[in-house]
C-alpha cells in the first residue's frame, strides 16, 4: 500500500489553475452548479439517472423497461431487456444528418501519408467487411481476435464485428505469438484478423507470422479463418483454405449491411489485462452500457463539439483505443486523427507537427509520452513544441498512470500554452470509461490530481473494512454503486471476477486495486497499484506474468519481479533471477541478462523487458516460502531496509542482491 512519503509528496502541491471563463461559457457541463445538479440527480436515484441518459444518448431497436438487474450481484445487468446495435449507434445514426459527409477518420501513416474518410465512407467500408464476414459464416456470438496495426482497417474490423454481434478481442500488435496464443485459446476465437506487417518508426514488424506461430502452438482448433490486411505487401507463408486476404473478403460485397440488434448485455468485446496472479484477465464488456459510458466520457470530459478535431494517441490494443478511438468519438460524430507510427519518428516533433497539420483541438496522451517528449525537447531543441503552431488546441488529456506535477506543468505550459485545461482522467480497462476526472468547464485544476468523480460514479476511499477514511488519509479506491459501463465478468472465470473485484470485506464495493487519498478540498490523488501489478508506460503488467516467462527459460530456476520508479516509463521492470548454475558475474552476467531480456520480449512482448536483471543464489523468502517482493523493491531502489528481516528464511541474500548492484 502507499507509503507515508508518497502521501506527503502529493500534499505539497498547492498550485491551482482556475477554469478559464471562456471555456466554461461554452462547456457541455458549464460550471459547478451544473455538475452539482447531475451529481444530486444521481445521488437521489441513480438508476433513474442512468435510465434517462441511456434513453437520451443511445438509439434503441427495442427500448428497455428494466434499468438495473442486481439480483445476481455483482453480476449486474443494465438495460437488460433492451436491444440495440453499437455500430448503428456509431455510424448509421449520422446518415442523413450533416455529420454524414463530415470527416470521421484522418489516418496518418508512419511515413506521413494521410487518408481521410467521411462517416459515410467509413460506414460503407464497415458494411462491406461485415458482409464479407457474414459470407464466411461468422455471426452473433462468435469471437474474433484482432491483431492489427493502427489503421483504418483496424477500426473497420472492430466496427464490423460490433455490427454483427461478433465479440472482438483486440490483442496489442506489440505482443508476442505466445501472448496471442494464450488469448486466442482463452476467448475461443474462431476468426483472427491481422495484417502482413505493421510500420512503426520507419521499420516493418511482422504480424501474420506471429499468428501462424500462435496457431502452431496448438489448441486453436476453433480458428477457421485468418484474414490478412496487406499493409506492406510482404511475402507470406500461406495456409490455403484458412488464410484469406482482406481484399478478397470485401471484394464484390454490398455497401449496405443491416446491423444486427443484440441484447444490451451482449458482450461487445473481451480485452485482456493483467492481474496480480496467473494469466491475463479477459475483461468482458457489454454493448449498451459500455457505449453509454464511452459517449458520455467523450461528451463531458472532452467537451466534444461539432467542429473539434480529436486525437487520442493510444493503440487500439488498449481500452483507451477502444473507448477513445473506435467507439466514443464515432458515437459522438467527431472528426478524429488515427496515427500508425511512434511519437519520435522521423523526429520527436511528430506529435506537435501532426497537431499543427490536422488542426487538432483535443489531444489525449499518456504521461510516459509527455515525459519522453520533454526529454527529447531538451536534447533536440528543434523538436520543442514551441517551433510548431499549436493554437488549434483547446483541451489536453492525460491517462494511464499518475502524472507527476513536473510533467503536468511542462504539458500545460509548452503544449497547452497556458490556455488549455488538462483533464487527468483516472479509469481502467474494467471501468470502460472515465471514473475520476476534472471536467474542463467545472474543475479548477491541481497538477497531479485527477479531480472529482465523473457524474454518476460513486467513488470513495476506504480502509480494509470498507469504511470511508478521513480526508488526507490514504486507502483503497472503490466504486460503491454499479455503473452501466462496468466490467461484466472475467471471460470464462466468474469466480476470479468476484474474488478480484468484489472482495467480501468491502460491502460489495468494486475494488479498483489502486491506492488513493482525497485532500481537504475533496480532490482525488491516485497513488498507484496496491497489488503486484506494474505500470510500465501506462500499461498494466502482472509481476507474475514476467516471472513465469523468465522461469520458462532453461537457465532460470526462480525469478521475482518488482517495479522501480522510472523517469520515462513511470515504472521499470527489475528482475531478480536465480539460475540453475552458478551466480554469473561480469561479461557472463551481461550476456545472460541480454539473453533473458530478449526472451521476455519474445514470450510477452518488448514492453515487458526487464530494464535490469540481478542474479543471486536464491531469493528473500518467508519461512513459509513466500517471496518478499516488498523487500526486493527496496533493493531495486537502492534503499536501506529498516525493518527486521530476521524472520526470513535467508536474510543474507538481501545483501548479496544489493551488492550485485
Ligand atoms: C490503471 C488501469 C485507463 C486506460 C489506460 C490504463 C492507472 C490510469 C490514471 C490516472 C493515475 C492512472 C491506475 C489504474 N491509471 N489512469 N489518470 N492517474 N493512475 O488502463 O491498463 O486498465 O490500467 O492505470 O493504476 O488502475 P489499464
pLDDT at 528: 81
Joined together, the cell numbers standing for residue 168 give 472482438
What pTM was computed for the model?
0.91
**Nearest 5°: phi and psi at 233?**
85, 15
**Whose CA is closest to atom 13 on ligand 1?**
401
pLDDT-wise least confident of 38-52, 213-227, 508-522, 533-547: 533-547
Atom of ligand 1 nearest to the CA of 403: 18
Atom of ligand 1 nearest to the CA of 539: 21
The residue to which cell 510482404 is assigned: 234
Q: Which residues pair with 511 in a beta bridge?
A: 478
Q: Which of 319, 242, 254, 321 is nearest to 281 (CA)?
A: 319
Joined together, the cell numbers standing for residue 436 give 475520476
69 is in an annotated binding site: no
Contact status, residue 309 vs residue 337, Cβ threshold 8 Å: yes
Q: Which of 136, 160, 131, 128 is nearest to 146 (CA)?
A: 160
Q: Which residues pair with 270 in a beta bridge?
A: 284
Coil, helix or strand for 181?
Answer: helix
Q: What does the alpha-carbon distance between residue 212 and residue 194 come to, in Å, rounded to a whole number? A: 11
Mutate to test the pocket of ligand 1, among 10, 320, 401 (most ligand atoms within 8 A of CB): 401
Element holding 205 (H helix, E strand) = strand 203-206
pLDDT at 530: 83
Q: What is the pLDDT of residues 135-147, one digit of tens each?
A: 999 999 999 999 9
- Counting residues of the chain whose pLDDT is more than 70, the rounded percentage is 97
Element holding 461 (H helix, E strand) = strand 459-462
Q: Which of 407, 219, 300 is nearest to 28 (CA)?
A: 300
Is the CA virtual torsion 233, 183, 156, 317 positive or negative?
A: negative
Joined together, the cell numbers standing for residue 112 give 506521413
Residue 624 has pLDDT above 80, yes or no: no
Residue 651 has pLDDT above 90, yes or no: no
548 band by pLDDT with thresholds 50, 70 and 90: confident
Q: What does the alpha-carbon distance between residue 338 and residue 351 come to, in Å, rounded to a whole number? A: 12
Ligand 1 mean position, distance from CA 528 (Å) = 8
Atom of ligand 1 nearest to the CA of 538: 6
pLDDT at 100: 98
556 is in an annotated binding site: yes
Q: What is the pLDDT of residues 55-75, one digit of tens each?
A: 999 999 999 999 999 999 999
Atom of ligand 1 nearest to the CA of 424: 17
Atom of ligand 1 nearest to the CA of 437: 17
Say if residue 74 is preceded by a cis peptide, omega within 30 of 0: yes
The number of C-alpha atoms within 13 Å of 223 and in the hemisphere containing its C-beta is 29
* Helix 119-135, helix 152-164: angle, nearest 10: 60
Mutate to test the pocket of ligand 1, among 407, 426, 459, 571 (most ligand atoms within 8 A of CB): 426
Helix, strand, coil percent content, the chain, rounded in steps of 5: 35, 25, 45
Q: What is the pLDDT of residues 302-360, one digit of tens each?
A: 999 999 999 999 999 999 999 999 999 999 999 999 999 999 999 999 999 999 999 99
Ligand 1 mean position, distance from CA 12 (Å) = 23
Name the pairing type of β-strands 422-424 and 570-579.
Answer: unpaired
pLDDT at 2: 35
pLDDT at 7: 35
401 is in an annotated binding site: yes
pLDDT at 12: 54
Ligand 1: list residues with CB < 6 Å.
273, 318-320, 399-402, 424-429, 450, 512-514, 526, 528-529, 535, 538-540
What dihedral angle (degrees, nearest 10) is formed by the CA atoms of 356, 360, 364, 365?
-20
Ligand 1 mean position, distance from CA 426 (Å) = 6
Contact status, residue 191 vs residue 224, Cβ threshold 8 Å: yes
Ligand 1 mean position, distance from CA 487 (Å) = 15
pLDDT at 8: 39
Work out the burial of residue 238: count CB atoms within 10 Å of its CB; fewer than 13 is exposed, 13-18 middle, 19 or more buried.
Answer: middle
pLDDT at 660: 60
| DSSP state at residue 633 | H
Ligand 1 mean position, distance from CA 300 (Å) = 19
Residue 203 has pLDDT above 80, yes or no: yes
Q: What is the pLDDT of residues 380-434, one digit of tens each?
A: 999 999 999 999 999 999 999 888 888 999 999 999 999 999 999 999 999 999 9
**Whose CA is closest to atom 10 on ligand 1?**
426
Average pLDDT over residues 617-623: 85
118 is in an annotated binding site: no
**Whose CA is closest to atom 18 on ligand 1?**
402
CA separation, residue 223 to residues 57, 144, 149, 189, 241 (Å)? 36, 9, 20, 6, 12
Q: What does the alpha-carbon distance between residue 212 and residue 184 come to, in Å, rounded to a whole number? A: 12
193 band by pLDDT with thresholds 50, 70 and 90: very high
pLDDT-wise least confident of 53-67, 189-203, 262-276, 528-542: 528-542
pLDDT at 127: 98
424 is in an annotated binding site: yes
Ligand 1 mean position, distance from CA 366 (Å) = 10
Average pLDDT over residues 524-548: 85
Q: What does the alpha-carbon distance between residue 11 and residue 8 come to, in Å, rounded to a whole number? A: 5
Ligand 1 mean position, distance from CA 473 (Å) = 21
Ligand 1 mean position, distance from CA 332 (Å) = 23
Coil, helix or strand for 517?
Answer: strand
- Counting residues of the chain whose pLDDT is more than 90, the rounded percentage is 83
Element holding 367 (H helix, E strand) = helix 367-379
Q: Which of 530, 531, 539, 558 is nearest to 605 (CA)?
A: 539
Q: What does the alpha-carbon distance between residue 619 and residue 596 come to, in Å, rounded to a whole number? A: 18
Work out the burial of residue 425: count CB atoms within 10 Å of its CB; fewer than 13 is exposed, 13-18 middle, 19 or more buried.
Answer: buried
Work out the burial of residue 134: count CB atoms within 10 Å of its CB; fewer than 13 is exposed, 13-18 middle, 19 or more buried.
Answer: middle
pLDDT at 659: 72
Average pLDDT over residues 624-645: 84
pLDDT at 612: 95
3 band by pLDDT with thresholds 50, 70 and 90: very low
Amino acid at each position: 500500500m502507499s507509503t507515508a512519503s508518497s502521501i506527503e509528496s502529493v500534499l505539497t502541491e498547492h498550485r491551482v489553475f482556475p477554469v478559464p471563463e471562456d471555456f466554461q461559457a461554452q462547456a457541455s457541463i458549464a460550471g459547478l452548479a451544473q455538475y452539482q445538479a447531475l451529481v444530486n440527480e444521481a445521488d437521489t436515484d441513480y438508476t433513474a439517472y442512468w435510465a434517462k441518459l441511456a434513453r437520451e444518448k443511445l438509439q434503441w431497436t427495442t427500448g428497455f423497461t428494466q434499468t438495473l438487474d442486481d439480483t445476481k450481484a455483482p453480476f449486474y445487468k443494465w438495460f437488460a431487456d433492451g436491444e440495440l446495435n453499437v455500430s448503428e449507434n456509431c455510424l448509421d445514426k449520422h446518415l442523413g444528418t450533416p455529420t454524414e459527409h463530415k470527416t470521421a477518420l484522418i489516418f496518418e501513416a508512419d511515413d506521413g501519408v494521410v487518408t481521410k474518410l467521411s462517416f459515410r465512407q467509413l460506414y460503407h467500408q464497415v458494411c462491406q467487411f461485415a458482409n464479407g464476414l457474414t459470407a464466411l459464416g461468422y455471426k452473433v456470438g462468435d469471437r474474433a481476435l484482432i491483431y492489427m496495426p493502427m489503421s483504418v482497417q483496424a477500426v473497420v474490423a472492430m466496427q464490423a464485428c460490433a455490427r454483427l454481434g461478433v465479440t472482438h478481442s483486440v490483442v496489442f500488435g506489440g505482443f508476442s505469438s505466445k501472448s496471442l496464443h494464450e488469448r486466442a485459446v482463452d476467448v475461443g476465437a474462431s476468426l483472427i484478423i491481422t495484417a502482413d506487417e505493421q510500420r512503426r518508426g520507419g521499420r516493418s514488424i511482422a504480424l501474420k507470422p506471429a499468428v501462424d506461430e500462435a496457431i502452431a502452438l496448438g489448441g486453436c482448433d476453433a480458428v477457421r479463418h485468418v484474414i490478412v490486411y496487406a499493409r506492406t505487401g510482404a511475402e507470406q507463408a500461406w495456409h490455403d483454405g484458412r488464410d484469406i486476404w482482406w481484399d478478397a473478403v470485401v471484394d464484390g460485397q454490398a455497401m449496405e449491411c443491416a446491423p444486427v440488434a443484440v441484447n444490451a448485455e451482449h458482450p461487445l468485446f473481451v480485452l485482456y489485462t493483467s492481474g496480480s496472479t496467473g494469466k491475463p484477465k479477459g475483461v468482458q464488456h457489454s454493448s449498451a452500457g459500455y457505449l453509454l459510458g464511452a459517449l458520455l466520457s467523450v461528451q463531458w470530459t472532452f467537451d466534444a463539439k461539432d467542429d473539434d478535431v480529436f486525437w487520442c494517441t493510444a493503440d487500439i490494443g488498449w481500452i483507451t483505443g477502444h473507448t477513445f478511438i473506435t467507439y466514443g468519438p464515432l458515437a459522438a460524430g467527431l472528426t478524429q486523427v488515427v496515427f500508425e507510427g511512434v511519437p519520435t519518428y522521423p523526429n520527436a516533433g511528430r506529435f506537435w507537427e501532426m497537431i499543427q497539420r490536422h488542426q487538432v483541438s483535443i489531444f489525449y496522451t499518456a504521461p510516459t509520452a509527455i515525459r519522453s517528449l520533454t526529454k527529447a525537447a531538451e536534447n533536440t531543441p528543434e523538436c520543442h513544441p514551441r517551433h510548431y503552431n499549436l493554437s488549434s488546441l483547446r483541451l489536453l488529456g492525460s491517462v494511464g498512470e499518475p502524472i507527476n506535477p513536473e510533467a503536468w506543468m511542462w504539458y500545460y505550459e509548452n503544449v497547452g500554452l497556458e490556455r488549455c485545461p488538462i483533464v487527468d482522467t483516472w479509469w481502467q480497462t474494467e471501468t470502460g470509461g472515465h471514473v475520476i476526472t476534472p471536467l474542463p468547464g467545472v474543475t479548477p485544476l491541481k497538477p497531479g490530481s485527477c479531480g472529482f468523480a465523473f457524474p454518476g460514479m460513486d467513488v470513495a476511499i476506504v480502509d480494509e473494512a470498507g469504511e470511508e477514511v478521513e480526508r488526507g488519509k490514504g486507502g483503497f479506491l472503490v466504486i460503491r454503486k454499479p455503473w452501466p459501463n462496468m466490467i461484466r465478468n472475467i471471460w470464462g472465470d466468474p469466480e476470479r471476477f468476484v474474488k478480484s473485484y468484489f472482495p467480501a470485506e468491502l460491502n460489495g464495493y468494486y475494488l479498483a486495486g489502486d491506492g488513493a487519498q482525497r485532500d481537504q478540498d475533496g480532490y482525488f490523488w491516485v497513488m498507484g497499484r496496491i497489488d503486484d501489478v506494474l505500470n510500465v508506460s501506462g500499461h498494466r503488467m502482472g509481476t507474475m506474468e514476467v516471472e513465469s516467462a523468465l522461469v520458462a527459460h532453461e537457465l532460470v530456476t526462480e525469478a521475482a519481479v518488482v517495479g522501480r520508479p522510472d523517469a520515462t516509463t513511470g515504472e521499470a521492470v527489475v528482475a531478480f533471477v536465480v539460475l540453475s548454475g552458478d551466480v554469473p558475474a561480469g561479461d557472463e552476467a551481461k550476456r545472460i541478462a541480454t539473453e533473458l531480456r530478449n526472451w521476455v520480449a519474445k514470450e510477452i512482448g518488448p514492453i515487458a523487458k526487464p530494464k535490469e536483471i540481478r542474479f543471486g543464489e536464491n531469493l528473500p523468502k518467508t519461512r513459509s516460502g513466500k517471496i518478499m517482493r516488498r523487500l526486493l523493491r527496496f533493493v531495486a531502489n537502492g534503499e536501506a531496509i529498516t525493518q527486521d528481516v530476521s524472520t526470513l528464511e535467508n536474510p543474507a541474500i538481501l545483501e548479496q542482491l544489493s551488492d550485485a548492484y
